[in-house]
Amino acid sequence: DPKKKDNLPSKQIRPSTDNEYGSLNLQVSGYDMVLVEHYSQYVHNLCNRLSVKVQESYAKPTKTKEVMLMQEQGTKMFVDSVLMTHERVVQVTGLSATLAPMVLEILMMNQPEGVQLLVKEHTEADYQIRFKARPDLENLMASMN
């Protein structure tokens, strides 16, 4: 619904300069919620200790995937397991180009098994993805008007 997108607030994205990165998202994801949570806390604390400004730290909605299995002598498929992907984002601004390689090396050296780390520039789409669609609430609001 294009009308819904207009109601969402937009956010100022800090641009990069020659010697400093703008807004960067350090995305931590994995299947083990405890590992993801602890590693994202580690990322946040490391940035604080190295005087890298943490703009915000937040969780993205958990994604669920069902793994289907087919029996050897049959055509029926059944759910073998359910995989839940947990994702946390630590958004930093003003990371200097000279400090960035060292920060990333420290993060990769201490990255636990089964946890992925993705570093990317923050975009408007990253901000909009945080908001969950709530059709029941939208229908209620529409009926009130």
What is the rounded CA–CA span in Å between residue 31 and residue 99?
30
What is the rounded CA–CA span in Å between residue 137 and residue 135?
5
What is the rounded CA–CA span in Å between residue 138 and residue 5?
12
102: its two tokens = 């060292």
What is the rounded CA–CA span in Å between residue 36 and residue 28?
6
Evaluated on CA atoms 66, 40, 103, 119, the torsion sign reads positive
One pLDDT digit (tens) per residue for the chain, 145 residues: 444 444 545 566 666 667 888 889 999 999 999 999 999 999 999 999 999 999 999 998 899 999 888 888 878 888 888 999 999 999 999 899 999 999 999 999 999 999 999 999 887 777 777 776 677 777 888 888 7
3: its two tokens = 């009308």
What is the rounded CA–CA span in Å between residue 58 and residue 40?
9
The DSSP output letter for 99 is T
pTM: 0.75
